[in-house]
Structures are given as structure tokens and as C-alpha cells.
Amino acid sequence: MTDHDSNPLSPKRRQMLVGAGLAALAGAGLSPLAMAAGADDKWPERAVRLIVPFPPGGGSDTVARLVATALADRLGQPVVVENKAGGTGTVGVAYGLQAPADGYTLIWCTPAAQYLAPKSVRYDPVNDFAPVSMTVAATYILMVNPSLPIHSVADLIAAAKARPDGINYATSGTGGQGHLMGEYFNQLAGTRMTQVPYAGEGPAVIGLMGNQVHAAFISSAAALRQVKAGKLRAIGMSSATRLPGIPEDIAPIADTLPGYDVTAINYLSMRNGTPESIVHRLSKHINEILVMPSVRDKIAGMGVVPVGSTPKELKVRVLAERAKWITVMEKANIVLE
């Protein structure tokens, strides 16, 4: 053996050590893959965290806690919800992605996490995620103040074309889902409705009820309460496919404006690099939980629809949504900072 061979860091020496290690594993009837699988089989051996990027008490937080409770029963370990609010949800997502990819940190995601993520986020909106499953889907309701002579999507388009730049719509903030939905509507309808940003969806609804603005795209959970009370008029729903819980007299916007289709989703992800066996096991659990009557009925009562998916289906959905909204933003010269 030469001096070079005796160097414990030399390539030849490392090869010899690796070979000896593999031989020892083989002699014991084990392989590296088998050992990795064995480690995954023991998961979870401690509590799992679920990062919710919003304050306690909101819609996403409420659904997340329902799922967490049912998931804990299935895993035999606590699932601890940790709220980390800020940045329209991106602060908590970034926080969750800093955790090891060991299967012990789940992240509750909304559109802002990936396909509506601003440029300032400190993560890769595509490649840093291991998709697990969708959890809920929700439509938005296009509403107007009932004092206006607008009773349909066609009426709104006609009014907007008759008064270019004269019809406006309330949003929960520039660059948010409501803003982009309005610009998407403009692009398909050939209108120029103007955005009026408010500090959240609640103030936007109040502005619409106060006749400060003409229209707004509001989440179904918040919109239907005001429609039932007669305080606002619903003229269309954003999803091209009718979702359960939406009154029959609210037709899809796509019936008048072909191609218009917006269905917002919440979903669960983990950090990329998490063992696939854990990701798929979690996905299976989540899909089974969402059809449990005790969970399904409570979610439906909030005005959203429980809907699961495979990790592959979720990945395809996120990439398609991202491509769609990037195109909308480019045409409208919107930059999410």
C-alpha cells in the first residue's frame, strides 16, 4: 500500500470503506434502501407540526384544525397547529420550509404560497415544495349593490363597455385574488373596470354595501351571508363548474363569459425532499379524512367544499394555476412585490 492509499480521505480509501460497509450490511441481510424504508416505517415517532400561515380563528385555520384533529387520531401522534401569520400567508410558508424534510412539518397553503407568490418570498415557489393533497375548494361570488340596475353578468359587461374606466370593483388589496379575478374578467370581456383596493375582504364588502363601489368578487363564505340578508346582489359565481352549497339562481360567470373559471384551493405541502413514502401515506390519510361525515359536514357548513387529491394531481393543478395567473398579470402589467 502506498502513502497515497493510506490517506483515509483518498478516493481509493473511501471506496474500500464504502465497500466494507455495504458488505457488512449485506451480511446482516440489510441494504441501504431497506434501512431507509425501515426508518420511514417508524414514522411518526413524535408530534407532527402543521404550520398555518394565518391568525387563529379564520377560515383556513378552522379547517386546518379539523383536519389536524382527525389526522392525529390516525397517526397516533399529536398534530400541533402552529400559526405563523404575515405576508398574505407567505411568512408562515417560508417558516415551514425551513424545517427539515423529515416528515414532521406540514404546511397549509393557499394561492399566495406558490402561484400568487410575490417576488420577495424567500423560497422557490415551484421547487421547494413536496405536494401532499388538496383540502378544500371555494368559489367567489361576483356581487353588486342592489341599488344598481345590474342584474346579470351581461348587464355588468354592458355597463362597463358603455362607461370605459367608469365602473369599478372592490378588492381586498392590490395583487390579491380579487384583483386578479377582476383583471381576468376585463381581459376576457374586453372591459376596463377599475380596481379599488381595500384593507381586506371585510372592508371591501362594507364598501360595496355602502355603494362606494359598483362590484366585487367576494369569497362564497363571506358573500352568501350578505346575499341572503338582501344587502348585496349576486350576479355570478367564479367557478365554471357549479359547487355544492351555491344557490341555483347564481349561475357561473362562464355561462356568459366563456373561459372564465376561478376555483380557489387550499392544500397541504411539505418541504421538497421529504421521503415519498411519508408524503403518499399522508395524502392517503388526508383524502380519507375529508370524506368523514364529521369533517366533511363541518367544512361544507363554512361555505367551502372538501376535496382531496393525489400529490401528482396537486402538483399539476398548482403548475397550471401558476401559468394561468402569470399570464393574467403580465397582460395587466401587475407585479407582485
Global model pTM greater than 0.95:
no
126 lies in the same domain as 275 = yes
Angle between helices 32-41 and 11-27 (to 10 degrees): 60
pLDDT in tens, 244-303: 888 989 999 999 999 999 999 999 999 999 999 999 999 999 999 999 999 999 998 888
288 and 248 inside one domain: no
Give the pLDDT of residue 53: 92
The CATH number linked to 245 is 3.40.190.10
User: Do residues 158 and 248 share a domain?
Assistant: yes
Distance CA 112, CA 327 (A): 16
222 vs 228: CA distance, rounded Å: 11
Q: Please state, in angstroms and as integers, the Cα–Cα distance from residue 132 to each residue in 29, 108, 123, 313, following that order.
A: 33, 10, 18, 9
337 residues of the chain, pLDDT tens digit each? 434 444 444 445 445 544 544 454 455 555 444 444 555 789 999 999 999 998 898 888 999 999 999 999 999 999 999 999 888 889 999 999 999 999 999 999 999 899 888 888 999 999 999 999 999 999 999 999 999 999 999 999 999 999 999 999 999 888 888 999 999 999 999 999 999 999 888 899 999 999 999 999 998 888 988 998 999 999 999 999 988 888 989 999 999 999 999 999 999 999 999 999 999 999 999 999 999 999 999 998 888 899 999 999 999 999 999 999 999 999 999 988 7
Examine residue 269 and state whether it is found in any structural domain, yes or no: yes
Which residues, 6+ apart, have CB-to-CB distance to 60 below 8 Å?
Answer: 52, 54, 108, 110, 266
What is residue 208's predicted lDDT score, i.e. its pLDDT?
Answer: 96
20: number of CA atoms within 13 Å, CB side?
6
Please tell me whether residues 128 and 270 are part of one structural domain: yes
Query: Is residue 249 domain-resident?
Result: yes
Q: For residue 246, how many other CB atoms are within 10 A of its CB? A: 20
- Which of 255, 274, 304 is the endpoint of a domain? 255
Residue 43 lies in a domain: no
What pairs with residue 105 in β-bridges? 49
pLDDT in tens, 193-206: 999 999 888 899 99
> For residue 104, what are the contacts with CB-CB under 8 A and spacing of at least 6?
44, 46, 47, 48, 49
Q: Are residues 297 and 244 in the same domain?
A: no
Helices and strands, counts by H and E, the chain: 12, 11
Task: Print the domain residue range for 221.
Answer: 140-255
> Please, are residues 69 and 79 in contact by the beta-carbon 8 Å criterion?
yes
Residues 272 and 167 in one domain: no
pLDDT at res. 172: 86
Q: Is residue 116 part of a domain?
A: yes
Q: Which long-range contacts (CB under 8 A, 24 or more apart) does 15-19 make?
A: none
Q: What integer pLDDT is reported at residue 5 of this predicted model?
A: 43
Out of 200, 233, 255, pick the residue that ends a domain.
255
- Split into its structural domains, the chain has a count of 2
pLDDT of residue 38: 54
pLDDT the model gives residue 58: 81
171 touches 186 (CB < 8 A):
no
**pLDDT score recorded for residue 71:** 98
